Structure 1
């Protein structure tokens, strides 16, 4: 009986210490804002609003672009589009996000690419306006550009 009480007390103490450790653990680095919108024009698929969603873990970051207004004329299989998103740094230069991630998209469906992987530094401020998105599918390159600054503003990485 005494062993059971000691075992239970030890388990409770360990659980309390683990919970306390989690409460004081450093939080993951974050990007703000996490989503932004742009007005994009593409060489195929038309033009319209697109949403950019960014995430960050340390120096690794991802960006996903999705639009219900920019569409594909043909069905696109999952993970078959090779995409390169170039964002402009406020400090000068660019940061490139690449990948072959995309959901299956039916003919006439809205375009989604990503998450696309890139590397960022603390304090990087990245904007789609002035950059570009290149999507290669079926050997055809589709180019998209933003018609103005993203809203509510550039992505700022911690």
Structure 2
């Protein structure tokens, strides 16, 4: 009988600790919502099309990776050859830039993928992509957003 009482007491103690720590775990893990969004870009002579953006957040540091059919690779592009700057407009009309020169291998004829692009955000920032510059082999394509992000802006 004594071992049954000890088991129940231990289980209740573990449960109480888990409940007490749950709010701390939730507060310590800031999250961006949504984590994925789509938008359309017009890149002038380089083309136009949709883009998928994926965001992550760790405190005030955030990253965005994107793939866009607005720009396709005319020849194979090796990893680390694409330099990109994504400008995002905040709800208060200020802008935040995300930049980087990371990309996977991109086969000829495929959509350009870039990221993670790094940027700094503040709690409550509500960011929507407004422009994108992609530089490959010294040639820069400048793209302008032609639609709103769906399902909506990234809220950090």
Give the TM-score, by structure 2 length: 0.81
Q: Indicate how the Cα distance of structure 1 residues 69 and 85 shifts in structure 2: closer, same or farther if over 3 A, else same.
A: closer
* Aligned alpha-carbon RMSD (Å): 2.2
- How many residue pairs align between the two structures? 141
Q: 1:66-92, CA deviations, whole angstroms, 9 ceiling, x for partnerless residues?
A: 134641112111011111100001112
The range that moved more, 25-34 or 51-60, is 25-34
SS in 1 for 2:37: strand
Q: How does 1:60-71 map onto structure 2 within 5 Å?
A: 60-68=61-69, 70-71=71-72
Alignment pair present for 1:82 and 2:83: yes
Q: 2:5 matched to which residue of 1?
A: none
Aligned residues of 1:89 and 1:127 also touching (Cα < 8 A): yes
Superposed, 1:9-158 pairs within 5 Å as 20=18, 23=22, 25-27=24-26, 28-68=29-69, 70-128=71-129, 131-157=130-156
Q: Which has the higher helix share?
A: 2
User: Does structure 1 retain, via aligned residues, the 8 Å contact 2:35–2:54?
Assistant: yes
TM-score normalised to the size of structure 1?
Answer: 0.80
Unaligned runs of 5+ residues in structure 1 are 1-11
2: distance between equivalents of 1:100 and 1:108? 20
Question: By how many angstroms is 1:57 displaced?
Answer: 0.8
Unpaired runs of at least 5, structure 2: 1-9
Runs of 4+ in 1 over 6 A off after TM superposition: none
Report if aligned partners of 2:56, 2:63 keep a CA contact under 8 Å in 1: yes
